[in-house]
Amino acid sequence: MKFSAEVEEAREGNLPLVALESTIITHGMPYPQNVETAMLVERTVREAGAVPATIAVIDGVLHIGLSESELTALGQAQSVAKLSRADIAACIATGGTGATTVAATMIAARLAGIEVFATGGIGGVHRGAETTFDISADLAELAQTAVTVVAAGAKAILDIPKTLEVLETYGVPVIAMGQDSFPAFWSRDSGLGAPLRMDSATEVAAAHVTRGYMGLPGGQLVANPIPVDEEIPPQDLAPIIAQAISEAEAQGIASKSVTPFLLARIFELTEGQSLRANIALVLNNARLAGEIACEISALRADATENTA
Ligand code: PSU
Ligand code: MN
């Protein structure tokens, strides 16, 4: 494990840290918007008072925090591996390079002592999972790794009702921020109620710390709706998603390639609108994650004072 200079300094100074994933850079967005967004996300975390730690495996080393040149190289590289729970140790052991998904980033964050993580959307239960069994390892990770993940809900390409059911089965708190309904990534409202609602970073931080006190394994999913001016109405997206999914089926796209294929195709079919929305929601999540990380630090500092 290698910490960037900025992350190392934050660790020494006990500053709040926010983990960031790298699959969104390599498999979620095209170059150069991927690298520009990654840098803006880091800046947004800093503006919120926390320190960003983008995570990736480079030449067999688990990096916690990337330099600008490492970020750029990753964003330009072709055919970087997509690492989930199943792949990350093998990649490190064989000296490989790969980008971490939500699941793998949570594993790395926990190892590095980072409690909060911002991303765009989590993986979930794919439509047709009753025949394909395609359920993202992100859900099982949320069940067992104690990191609070801030996302804009689950992408509308997924089966959102089934995704919420699996999260409930796994005992993962699903918390909508500032609204009652569960957001659907590019749109603010999935049409489904969220199991929990909170209205401030302080509440999310308190729930996170309480889970820790209780020794509950697993994380929390904070579902932060995309900003109003950036959302794409679900009815505009529905036919595009349907088309992208049927193309994926016709081309035999399966397994790890499904999510990247659908995201790229929806980007093309919306002429970039989906990408602009994606960037806006990631930045919105980075801000909230930064605030939550600061609140968790404050709660831990209070607890230390009280016991001292
Ligand atoms: N959300 C995005 N872009 C992405 C992903 C999510 O907006 O690229 C990535 C995340 O890394 C997530 C992964 O963990 O897709 C899920 O992939 P799968 O469905 O194969 O588990
Ligand atoms: Mn999958």
Work out which ligand 1 atom sits closest to the CA atom of 185.
Answer: 7
Q: 34-72: per-residue pLDDT in tens?
A: 999 999 999 999 999 999 999 999 999 999 999 999 999
What pLDDT does residue 32 have? 96
Say what the pTM is: 0.96
Examine the residue annotation and report whether 21 is marked as an active-site residue of this protein.
Answer: yes
Which of 115, 155, 291, 295 is the catalytic position? 155
Tell me the two tokens of residue 241: 């998603």
If you ran DSSP here, which 8-state letter would residue 148 be given? E
Determine phi and psi for 151, rounding to 5 degrees. Answer: -140, 170
Work out which ligand 1 atom sits closest to the CA atom of 82.
Answer: 11
3-class secondary-structure state, position 99: strand
If you ran DSSP here, which 8-state letter would residue 21 be given? -
3-class secondary-structure state, position 288: helix
- Among residues 175, 185, 232, the alpha carbon closest in space to that of 208 is found at 175
Examine the residue annotation and report whether 12 is marked as an active-site residue of this protein.
Answer: no
3-class secondary-structure state, position 28: helix
- pLDDT at position 31 over 80: yes
DSSP labels, 196-226: EEE-SHHHHHHHHHHHHHHT--S-EEEE-PP
How far is it, in rounded angstroms, from Cα 122 to Cα 143? 13
CA of 208 to the centre of ligand 2 (A): 27
Element (H, E) at 3: strand 2-3
Contacts of 142 (CB under 8 A, 6+ apart): 106, 122, 149, 167, 170, 172, 218, 219, 220, 221
Residue whose pair of structure tokens reads 């595009």 in the numeric block: 240
Which of 6, 21, 115, 295 is the catalytic position? 21
What pLDDT does residue 308 have? 65
Contacts of 121 (CB under 8 A, 6+ apart): 151, 152, 153, 154, 155, 185, 281
Beta-bridge mates of residue 196: 175
Measured from CB, residues less than 6 Å from any atom of ligand 1 are 21, 23-24, 27-28, 101-102, 120-121, 123, 136-138, 256, 259, 263, 278
Look up the CATH superfamily of 2-307.
Indigoidine synthase domain (3.40.1790.10)
- pLDDT at position 307 over 80: no
In the chain, what are the domain boundaries?
2-307
Q: 117-166: per-residue pLDDT in tens?
A: 999 999 999 999 999 999 999 999 999 999 999 999 988 889 999 999 99
What pLDDT does residue 98 have? 98
Residue 70 near residue 63, CB atoms below 8 Å: yes
